[in-house]
Amino acid sequence: MKMFKATAAALALSVGFGAGAQAEGLSGTLKIFSDMSNPAPRAVMEGMVERFGALHPDLDIELTVIDREAYKTQIRNFLTANAPDVANWYAANRMKPYVDAGLFEDISDVWADPALADLASTKGAMTLDGKQWGVPYTYYQWGVYYRADIYNELGLSEPASFDEMKSNCQAILDSGRKCYTIGTKFLWTAGGWFDYLNMRTNGYDYHAKLTGGEIPWTDDGVKATFANWRELIDMGAFVDNHTAYSWQESLPFIVSGDAAAILKGNFAVPPLREAGLDDSKLDFYQFPAITEGVALSEDAPTDTFHIPAKAENKEAAREFLKFVVSADNQTLINNGDNLGQLPVNAKSSVDDDKFLKEGFEMLSANSPGGVAQFFDRDAPAEMAKVAMEGFQEFMVKPDNLDKILARLDRAAKRIYK
Protein backbone atom coordinates (compact mmCIF):
# COMPACT_ATOMS: atom_id res chain seq x y z
CA MET A 1 0.00 0.00 0.00
CA LYS A 2 1.23 3.48 -0.86
CA MET A 3 0.04 6.68 0.81
CA PHE A 4 -0.31 9.85 -1.28
CA LYS A 5 -0.37 13.50 -0.26
CA ALA A 6 -0.15 16.53 -2.53
CA THR A 7 3.34 17.52 -3.68
CA ALA A 8 4.48 20.75 -5.27
CA ALA A 9 4.93 18.99 -8.60
CA ALA A 10 1.48 17.46 -8.44
CA LEU A 11 -0.04 20.78 -7.47
CA ALA A 12 1.55 22.35 -10.52
CA LEU A 13 0.22 19.59 -12.77
CA SER A 14 -3.23 19.84 -11.25
CA VAL A 15 -3.82 23.34 -12.59
CA GLY A 16 -4.87 21.85 -15.91
CA PHE A 17 -7.34 19.53 -14.19
CA GLY A 18 -9.67 22.09 -12.64
CA ALA A 19 -8.10 22.39 -9.19
CA GLY A 20 -10.01 25.56 -8.31
CA ALA A 21 -13.37 24.01 -9.13
CA GLN A 22 -12.79 20.72 -7.30
CA ALA A 23 -10.53 21.46 -4.32
CA GLU A 24 -13.24 21.94 -1.69
CA GLY A 25 -15.15 19.41 0.31
CA LEU A 26 -13.35 16.07 0.08
CA SER A 27 -11.70 14.70 3.20
CA GLY A 28 -11.09 11.47 5.04
CA THR A 29 -9.40 8.50 3.34
CA LEU A 30 -9.88 7.22 -0.20
CA LYS A 31 -8.82 3.59 -0.58
CA ILE A 32 -8.03 2.41 -4.12
CA PHE A 33 -7.21 -1.17 -5.15
CA SER A 34 -5.60 -1.55 -8.57
CA ASP A 35 -4.40 -4.39 -10.78
CA MET A 36 -2.14 -2.07 -12.80
CA SER A 37 0.97 -3.89 -11.62
CA ASN A 38 3.23 -3.76 -14.68
CA PRO A 39 5.73 -0.87 -14.57
CA ALA A 40 4.14 1.53 -17.09
CA PRO A 41 0.51 1.07 -15.94
CA ARG A 42 1.62 1.29 -12.30
CA ALA A 43 3.32 4.61 -12.98
CA VAL A 44 0.12 5.80 -14.68
CA MET A 45 -1.95 4.77 -11.67
CA GLU A 46 0.38 6.43 -9.19
CA GLY A 47 0.47 9.61 -11.29
CA MET A 48 -3.33 9.80 -11.41
CA VAL A 49 -3.58 9.36 -7.67
CA GLU A 50 -0.97 12.03 -7.00
CA ARG A 51 -2.66 14.55 -9.30
CA PHE A 52 -6.09 13.87 -7.82
CA GLY A 53 -4.62 14.24 -4.35
CA ALA A 54 -3.24 17.62 -5.33
CA LEU A 55 -6.77 18.75 -6.17
CA HIS A 56 -8.00 17.61 -2.74
CA PRO A 57 -5.29 18.37 -0.16
CA ASP A 58 -7.50 17.36 2.80
CA LEU A 59 -7.96 13.86 1.38
CA ASP A 60 -5.65 10.98 2.30
CA ILE A 61 -5.33 8.43 -0.53
CA GLU A 62 -4.23 4.85 0.04
CA LEU A 63 -3.29 3.01 -3.17
CA THR A 64 -2.82 -0.75 -3.05
CA VAL A 65 -1.45 -2.33 -6.25
CA ILE A 66 -1.98 -6.08 -6.60
CA ASP A 67 -0.49 -8.40 -9.21
CA ARG A 68 -2.99 -8.68 -12.06
CA GLU A 69 -3.44 -12.45 -11.92
CA ALA A 70 -3.69 -12.46 -8.12
CA TYR A 71 -6.21 -9.62 -8.34
CA LYS A 72 -8.55 -11.79 -10.41
CA THR A 73 -8.70 -14.40 -7.65
CA GLN A 74 -8.96 -11.87 -4.82
CA ILE A 75 -11.55 -9.40 -6.10
CA ARG A 76 -14.68 -11.18 -4.90
CA ASN A 77 -13.21 -11.64 -1.44
CA PHE A 78 -12.18 -8.04 -0.94
CA LEU A 79 -15.41 -6.68 -2.43
CA THR A 80 -17.28 -8.79 0.12
CA ALA A 81 -15.14 -8.45 3.23
CA ASN A 82 -12.79 -5.46 3.07
CA ALA A 83 -13.96 -3.27 0.23
CA PRO A 84 -11.88 -0.34 -1.00
CA ASP A 85 -13.58 2.81 -2.27
CA VAL A 86 -12.42 2.33 -5.88
CA ALA A 87 -11.35 -0.82 -7.72
CA ASN A 88 -10.11 -1.68 -11.22
CA TRP A 89 -11.97 -4.21 -13.34
CA TYR A 90 -13.42 -4.74 -16.84
CA ALA A 91 -16.62 -3.82 -18.67
CA ALA A 92 -19.68 -5.74 -19.87
CA ASN A 93 -20.05 -9.39 -18.86
CA ARG A 94 -16.86 -9.28 -16.78
CA MET A 95 -18.56 -6.90 -14.35
CA LYS A 96 -21.95 -8.65 -14.43
CA PRO A 97 -21.28 -11.22 -11.65
CA TYR A 98 -20.37 -8.42 -9.25
CA VAL A 99 -23.36 -6.33 -10.29
CA ASP A 100 -25.69 -9.32 -9.87
CA ALA A 101 -24.17 -10.05 -6.44
CA GLY A 102 -24.74 -6.45 -5.31
CA LEU A 103 -21.00 -5.79 -4.93
CA PHE A 104 -20.70 -2.82 -7.32
CA GLU A 105 -22.34 0.57 -6.74
CA ASP A 106 -24.87 1.99 -9.19
CA ILE A 107 -23.20 5.19 -10.46
CA SER A 108 -25.85 6.30 -12.93
CA ASP A 109 -25.76 9.67 -11.17
CA VAL A 110 -22.12 10.08 -12.22
CA TRP A 111 -23.02 9.37 -15.82
CA ALA A 112 -25.79 11.98 -15.61
CA ASP A 113 -23.11 14.64 -15.18
CA PRO A 114 -22.80 16.59 -18.48
CA ALA A 115 -19.02 16.18 -18.22
CA LEU A 116 -19.46 12.50 -19.16
CA ALA A 117 -21.39 13.23 -22.36
CA ASP A 118 -18.22 12.76 -24.39
CA LEU A 119 -17.97 9.13 -23.22
CA ALA A 120 -21.16 8.19 -25.06
CA SER A 121 -19.67 5.38 -27.17
CA THR A 122 -18.60 3.45 -24.05
CA LYS A 123 -21.80 3.90 -22.06
CA GLY A 124 -23.37 0.67 -23.33
CA ALA A 125 -20.43 -1.39 -22.11
CA MET A 126 -20.91 0.05 -18.61
CA THR A 127 -24.69 -0.50 -18.55
CA LEU A 128 -26.63 -3.41 -17.10
CA ASP A 129 -30.35 -3.33 -16.33
CA GLY A 130 -30.48 0.25 -17.59
CA LYS A 131 -27.97 1.47 -14.98
CA GLN A 132 -24.24 2.30 -15.12
CA TRP A 133 -21.83 0.47 -12.81
CA GLY A 134 -18.42 1.99 -13.49
CA VAL A 135 -16.39 4.20 -15.83
CA PRO A 136 -13.86 3.28 -18.52
CA TYR A 137 -10.30 4.57 -18.46
CA THR A 138 -8.70 3.08 -21.57
CA TYR A 139 -9.56 1.02 -24.63
CA TYR A 140 -8.22 0.14 -28.08
CA GLN A 141 -9.70 -0.36 -31.50
CA TRP A 142 -10.22 -3.42 -33.64
CA GLY A 143 -10.50 -3.25 -37.40
CA VAL A 144 -8.97 -4.43 -40.67
CA TYR A 145 -5.24 -3.78 -41.11
CA TYR A 146 -4.30 -4.21 -44.75
CA ARG A 147 -1.41 -4.00 -47.18
CA ALA A 148 -1.88 -0.61 -48.82
CA ASP A 149 0.75 -1.40 -51.45
CA ILE A 150 -1.19 -4.51 -52.57
CA TYR A 151 -4.44 -2.55 -52.70
CA ASN A 152 -2.71 0.12 -54.78
CA GLU A 153 -1.21 -2.49 -57.11
CA LEU A 154 -4.68 -3.98 -57.72
CA GLY A 155 -6.47 -0.63 -57.91
CA LEU A 156 -8.61 -1.33 -54.83
CA SER A 157 -10.17 1.12 -52.39
CA GLU A 158 -11.16 0.67 -48.77
CA PRO A 159 -14.60 -1.00 -48.83
CA ALA A 160 -17.65 0.85 -47.58
CA SER A 161 -19.97 -2.17 -47.83
CA PHE A 162 -19.79 -5.94 -47.55
CA ASP A 163 -20.31 -6.27 -51.30
CA GLU A 164 -17.27 -4.06 -51.89
CA MET A 165 -15.34 -6.08 -49.33
CA LYS A 166 -16.15 -9.30 -51.22
CA SER A 167 -15.33 -7.70 -54.57
CA ASN A 168 -11.93 -6.64 -53.24
CA CYS A 169 -11.41 -10.12 -51.89
CA GLN A 170 -12.10 -11.70 -55.27
CA ALA A 171 -9.54 -9.42 -56.93
CA ILE A 172 -7.00 -10.36 -54.28
CA LEU A 173 -7.70 -14.07 -54.76
CA ASP A 174 -7.38 -13.65 -58.52
CA SER A 175 -3.91 -12.17 -57.96
CA GLY A 176 -2.81 -15.38 -56.23
CA ARG A 177 -3.09 -14.13 -52.66
CA LYS A 178 -5.41 -14.81 -49.74
CA CYS A 179 -7.64 -12.01 -48.54
CA TYR A 180 -7.16 -12.51 -44.79
CA THR A 181 -4.64 -14.11 -42.53
CA ILE A 182 -5.86 -15.59 -39.26
CA GLY A 183 -4.60 -18.06 -36.69
CA THR A 184 -7.32 -19.98 -34.85
CA LYS A 185 -5.15 -22.36 -32.85
CA PHE A 186 -6.23 -20.26 -29.90
CA LEU A 187 -9.94 -19.86 -30.44
CA TRP A 188 -10.51 -16.19 -29.62
CA THR A 189 -9.38 -14.91 -33.01
CA ALA A 190 -12.42 -16.49 -34.68
CA GLY A 191 -14.50 -14.68 -32.06
CA GLY A 192 -13.43 -11.37 -33.59
CA TRP A 193 -14.81 -12.38 -36.97
CA PHE A 194 -18.07 -13.52 -35.42
CA ASP A 195 -18.41 -10.27 -33.47
CA TYR A 196 -18.04 -8.07 -36.52
CA LEU A 197 -20.16 -10.14 -38.83
CA ASN A 198 -22.93 -10.41 -36.23
CA MET A 199 -22.87 -6.73 -35.24
CA ARG A 200 -22.87 -5.68 -38.90
CA THR A 201 -25.65 -8.14 -39.78
CA ASN A 202 -27.91 -7.66 -36.77
CA GLY A 203 -26.66 -4.68 -34.76
CA TYR A 204 -25.15 -4.07 -31.34
CA ASP A 205 -28.32 -4.65 -29.31
CA TYR A 206 -28.92 -8.01 -30.96
CA HIS A 207 -25.30 -9.00 -30.35
CA ALA A 208 -25.52 -7.99 -26.70
CA LYS A 209 -28.74 -9.97 -26.22
CA LEU A 210 -27.20 -13.02 -27.87
CA THR A 211 -24.09 -12.94 -25.68
CA GLY A 212 -26.34 -12.22 -22.71
CA GLY A 213 -28.38 -15.38 -23.28
CA GLU A 214 -31.59 -13.65 -24.42
CA ILE A 215 -31.57 -14.88 -28.03
CA PRO A 216 -31.28 -18.56 -29.06
CA TRP A 217 -28.35 -19.61 -31.20
CA THR A 218 -30.81 -21.18 -33.63
CA ASP A 219 -32.39 -17.78 -34.34
CA ASP A 220 -32.64 -16.66 -37.98
CA GLY A 221 -30.48 -13.62 -37.23
CA VAL A 222 -27.61 -15.84 -36.09
CA LYS A 223 -28.02 -17.99 -39.20
CA ALA A 224 -27.83 -14.85 -41.36
CA THR A 225 -24.52 -13.96 -39.70
CA PHE A 226 -23.07 -17.37 -40.48
CA ALA A 227 -24.41 -17.17 -44.03
CA ASN A 228 -22.39 -13.99 -44.54
CA TRP A 229 -19.34 -15.63 -42.99
CA ARG A 230 -19.75 -18.65 -45.25
CA GLU A 231 -19.60 -16.45 -48.33
CA LEU A 232 -16.04 -15.52 -47.37
CA ILE A 233 -15.14 -19.10 -46.45
CA ASP A 234 -16.49 -20.51 -49.72
CA MET A 235 -14.50 -17.90 -51.65
CA GLY A 236 -11.32 -19.17 -50.02
CA ALA A 237 -10.75 -15.80 -48.32
CA PHE A 238 -8.78 -17.12 -45.35
CA VAL A 239 -5.31 -18.64 -45.25
CA ASP A 240 -5.19 -22.43 -45.31
CA ASN A 241 -4.49 -24.50 -42.18
CA HIS A 242 -5.26 -21.58 -39.87
CA THR A 243 -6.00 -23.93 -36.97
CA ALA A 244 -2.26 -24.62 -36.83
CA TYR A 245 -1.32 -20.99 -36.17
CA SER A 246 -1.55 -18.57 -33.28
CA TRP A 247 -2.32 -14.99 -34.23
CA GLN A 248 1.39 -14.17 -34.04
CA GLU A 249 2.24 -17.13 -36.26
CA SER A 250 -0.29 -15.88 -38.82
CA LEU A 251 1.44 -12.50 -39.23
CA PRO A 252 4.12 -13.70 -41.70
CA PHE A 253 1.39 -14.18 -44.32
CA ILE A 254 0.58 -10.47 -44.37
CA VAL A 255 4.24 -9.49 -44.02
CA SER A 256 5.20 -11.59 -47.05
CA GLY A 257 2.19 -10.41 -49.06
CA ASP A 258 0.68 -13.90 -49.28
CA ALA A 259 -2.36 -12.41 -47.55
CA ALA A 260 -3.57 -8.85 -47.91
CA ALA A 261 -5.19 -8.11 -44.55
CA ILE A 262 -5.92 -9.15 -40.97
CA LEU A 263 -8.86 -8.40 -38.67
CA LYS A 264 -7.20 -7.63 -35.36
CA GLY A 265 -6.79 -5.21 -32.50
CA ASN A 266 -4.27 -2.39 -32.59
CA PHE A 267 -1.82 -4.55 -30.64
CA ALA A 268 -0.93 -6.17 -34.00
CA VAL A 269 0.66 -2.95 -35.27
CA PRO A 270 3.99 -3.04 -33.35
CA PRO A 271 4.99 -6.55 -34.51
CA LEU A 272 3.95 -5.74 -38.10
CA ARG A 273 6.06 -2.58 -38.03
CA GLU A 274 8.97 -4.49 -36.52
CA ALA A 275 8.66 -7.03 -39.35
CA GLY A 276 9.18 -4.27 -41.92
CA LEU A 277 5.71 -2.95 -42.76
CA ASP A 278 6.06 0.80 -42.41
CA ASP A 279 3.07 3.13 -42.64
CA SER A 280 3.40 3.41 -46.41
CA LYS A 281 2.65 -0.31 -46.69
CA LEU A 282 0.22 -0.82 -43.81
CA ASP A 283 -3.17 0.88 -43.46
CA PHE A 284 -6.46 0.45 -41.60
CA TYR A 285 -10.18 0.52 -42.33
CA GLN A 286 -13.35 0.16 -40.30
CA PHE A 287 -15.15 -3.14 -40.91
CA PRO A 288 -17.76 -2.15 -43.50
CA ALA A 289 -21.55 -2.16 -43.27
CA ILE A 290 -23.53 -5.29 -44.14
CA THR A 291 -27.21 -4.71 -43.37
CA GLU A 292 -28.63 -1.36 -44.44
CA GLY A 293 -29.75 0.72 -41.49
CA VAL A 294 -27.68 -1.14 -38.90
CA ALA A 295 -25.49 1.39 -37.05
CA LEU A 296 -21.78 0.60 -36.97
CA SER A 297 -20.46 -0.67 -33.64
CA GLU A 298 -16.97 -1.84 -32.74
CA ASP A 299 -15.03 -4.23 -30.59
CA ALA A 300 -13.00 -2.07 -28.21
CA PRO A 301 -12.01 -3.97 -25.05
CA THR A 302 -12.26 -1.55 -22.15
CA ASP A 303 -10.58 -1.39 -18.74
CA THR A 304 -12.63 0.21 -15.98
CA PHE A 305 -12.94 1.65 -12.48
CA HIS A 306 -15.79 0.79 -10.11
CA ILE A 307 -17.05 1.81 -6.68
CA PRO A 308 -17.69 -1.22 -4.45
CA ALA A 309 -21.12 -1.25 -2.85
CA LYS A 310 -19.46 -1.48 0.59
CA ALA A 311 -17.11 1.46 -0.01
CA GLU A 312 -16.89 3.93 2.88
CA ASN A 313 -15.97 7.14 1.05
CA LYS A 314 -18.31 7.08 -1.92
CA GLU A 315 -18.31 10.85 -2.35
CA ALA A 316 -14.56 10.93 -2.92
CA ALA A 317 -14.78 7.82 -5.06
CA ARG A 318 -17.32 9.46 -7.37
CA GLU A 319 -15.09 12.52 -7.77
CA PHE A 320 -12.11 10.29 -8.54
CA LEU A 321 -14.06 8.53 -11.30
CA LYS A 322 -15.00 11.90 -12.82
CA PHE A 323 -11.35 12.91 -12.69
CA VAL A 324 -10.24 9.67 -14.38
CA VAL A 325 -12.44 10.27 -17.43
CA SER A 326 -11.71 14.00 -17.79
CA ALA A 327 -10.31 14.99 -21.17
CA ASP A 328 -6.95 16.19 -19.84
CA ASN A 329 -6.35 13.11 -17.72
CA GLN A 330 -7.39 10.80 -20.55
CA THR A 331 -4.93 12.48 -22.90
CA LEU A 332 -2.13 12.21 -20.36
CA ILE A 333 -2.54 8.58 -19.26
CA ASN A 334 -3.15 7.04 -22.68
CA ASN A 335 -0.46 8.77 -24.74
CA GLY A 336 3.31 8.57 -25.05
CA ASP A 337 5.06 5.93 -22.97
CA ASN A 338 2.07 5.53 -20.66
CA LEU A 339 -0.75 3.12 -21.60
CA GLY A 340 -0.26 3.65 -25.34
CA GLN A 341 -3.95 3.09 -26.04
CA LEU A 342 -6.94 5.31 -26.77
CA PRO A 343 -8.59 7.87 -24.49
CA VAL A 344 -12.28 7.23 -23.85
CA ASN A 345 -13.11 10.95 -23.85
CA ALA A 346 -13.87 12.32 -27.32
CA LYS A 347 -12.42 15.71 -26.33
CA SER A 348 -9.02 14.22 -25.56
CA SER A 349 -6.15 14.11 -28.04
CA VAL A 350 -3.91 11.26 -29.14
CA ASP A 351 -0.27 10.86 -30.08
CA ASP A 352 0.91 11.57 -33.62
CA ASP A 353 0.47 7.94 -34.60
CA LYS A 354 -1.43 7.01 -37.75
CA PHE A 355 -3.35 4.10 -36.28
CA LEU A 356 -4.11 5.67 -32.92
CA LYS A 357 -5.53 8.69 -34.75
CA GLU A 358 -7.70 6.54 -37.02
CA GLY A 359 -8.87 4.40 -34.11
CA PHE A 360 -9.68 7.44 -31.97
CA GLU A 361 -11.68 9.03 -34.76
CA MET A 362 -13.54 5.79 -35.43
CA LEU A 363 -14.46 5.14 -31.80
CA SER A 364 -15.20 8.77 -30.93
CA ALA A 365 -17.22 9.80 -33.98
CA ASN A 366 -17.91 6.90 -36.34
CA SER A 367 -19.28 4.15 -34.09
CA PRO A 368 -22.86 5.23 -33.37
CA GLY A 369 -23.97 1.68 -32.64
CA GLY A 370 -21.87 1.33 -29.48
CA VAL A 371 -18.81 -0.49 -28.24
CA ALA A 372 -18.64 -4.24 -27.57
CA GLN A 373 -15.97 -5.84 -25.43
CA PHE A 374 -15.00 -8.84 -27.61
CA PHE A 375 -16.79 -12.16 -27.50
CA ASP A 376 -14.91 -13.73 -24.60
CA ARG A 377 -15.63 -10.67 -22.43
CA ASP A 378 -19.24 -10.19 -23.51
CA ALA A 379 -20.26 -13.82 -22.97
CA PRO A 380 -19.76 -15.88 -19.80
CA ALA A 381 -16.46 -17.76 -19.83
CA GLU A 382 -18.02 -21.20 -20.30
CA MET A 383 -20.29 -19.99 -23.10
CA ALA A 384 -17.40 -18.19 -24.78
CA LYS A 385 -15.32 -21.37 -24.83
CA VAL A 386 -18.11 -23.52 -26.30
CA ALA A 387 -19.07 -20.89 -28.87
CA MET A 388 -15.53 -20.16 -30.02
CA GLU A 389 -14.92 -23.88 -30.47
CA GLY A 390 -17.96 -23.80 -32.72
CA PHE A 391 -16.64 -20.79 -34.65
CA GLN A 392 -13.36 -22.55 -35.35
CA GLU A 393 -15.16 -25.71 -36.42
CA PHE A 394 -17.42 -23.72 -38.74
CA MET A 395 -14.44 -22.10 -40.45
CA VAL A 396 -13.08 -25.57 -41.26
CA LYS A 397 -16.36 -27.46 -41.77
CA PRO A 398 -19.11 -24.96 -42.63
CA ASP A 399 -21.50 -27.78 -43.55
CA ASN A 400 -21.65 -28.59 -39.82
CA LEU A 401 -23.46 -25.34 -39.04
CA ASP A 402 -26.82 -26.80 -37.97
CA LYS A 403 -25.11 -29.21 -35.56
CA ILE A 404 -22.89 -26.43 -34.23
CA LEU A 405 -25.81 -24.08 -33.58
CA ALA A 406 -27.85 -26.82 -31.91
CA ARG A 407 -24.87 -27.59 -29.66
CA LEU A 408 -24.40 -23.91 -28.79
CA ASP A 409 -28.10 -23.54 -28.04
CA ARG A 410 -28.06 -26.52 -25.66
CA ALA A 411 -25.03 -25.09 -23.92
CA ALA A 412 -26.64 -21.66 -23.62
CA LYS A 413 -29.77 -23.08 -22.01
CA ARG A 414 -27.63 -24.81 -19.41
CA ILE A 415 -25.13 -21.98 -18.80
CA TYR A 416 -27.53 -19.04 -18.65
CA LYS A 417 -30.01 -20.92 -16.49
Q: What is the pLDDT of residues 53-85, one digit of tens each?
A: 999 999 999 999 999 889 999 999 999 999 999
Q: Do both 362 and 336 map to the same domain?
A: yes
- Written as one string, the DSSP assignment of 286-337 is PPPB-STTPPPEEE--EEEEE-BTT-S-HHHHHHHHHHHTSHHHHHHHHSTT
Q: Do both 191 and 250 map to the same domain?
A: yes
Query: Quick count: other Cβ atoms within 10 Å of Cβ 69?
Result: 10
Listed in sequence order, the DSSP H helices in 56-157 are: 68-81, 96-100, 108-111, 148-154
- Written as one string, the DSSP assignment of 206-219 is HHHHHHTT-S-TTS
Residues in the chain: 417
Biggest CA pair distance of the chain: 69
Contacts of 100 (CB under 8 A, 6+ apart): none
Residue 373 lies in a domain: no
Q: What angle do CA 378, 382, 388 make, to 5 degrees?
A: 70
- Give strand pairing partners of 136: 304
Query: Quick count: other Cβ atoms within 10 Å of Cβ 153?
Result: 12
Q: How many whole angstroms separate alpha carbon 126 and alpha carbon 136?
A: 8
CA nearest neighbour of 307 among 68, 133, 92: 133
Q: Do both 213 and 355 map to the same domain?
A: no
Q: Do both 118 and 22 map to the same domain?
A: yes
Residue 96 lies in a domain: yes
Q: Do both 322 and 399 map to the same domain?
A: no
CA nearest neighbour of 161 among 289, 348, 324, 316: 289
CB contact burial 386-397 (16+ within 10 A = b; e otherwise): bbbbbbbbbbee
Q: Do both 94 and 201 map to the same domain?
A: no
Rounded to 5 degrees, what are φ and ψ at 304? -140, 165
Q: How far is CA 131 from the centre of its chain?
A: 20
Q: Do both 241 and 209 map to the same domain?
A: yes
Q: How many whole angstroms separate alpha carbon 55 and alpha carbon 53?
A: 5
- Give strand pairing partners of 61: 4, 30
Q: Do both 42 and 182 map to the same domain?
A: no
Q: Do both 23 and 96 map to the same domain?
A: yes
Residues of the domain holding 259: 142-299+380-416
Q: What does the pLDDT read at residue 24? A: 59
The residue ranges of the chain whose pLDDT is under 50 are 6-15, 19-23
Number of domains in the chain: 2
CA nearest neighbour of 269 among 287, 288, 282: 282
Q: Do both 314 and 364 map to the same domain?
A: yes
Residue 411 lies in a domain: yes
Q: Give this prediction's pTM.
A: 0.88
Q: How many whole angstroms separate alpha carbon 376 and alpha carbon 385?
A: 8
CATH of the domain at 389: 3.40.190.10
Residue 375 lies in a domain: no
Q: What does the pLDDT read at residue 76? A: 95
Contact at 8 Å (CB) between 56 and 316? yes
Q: What is the DSSP letter of 351?
A: -
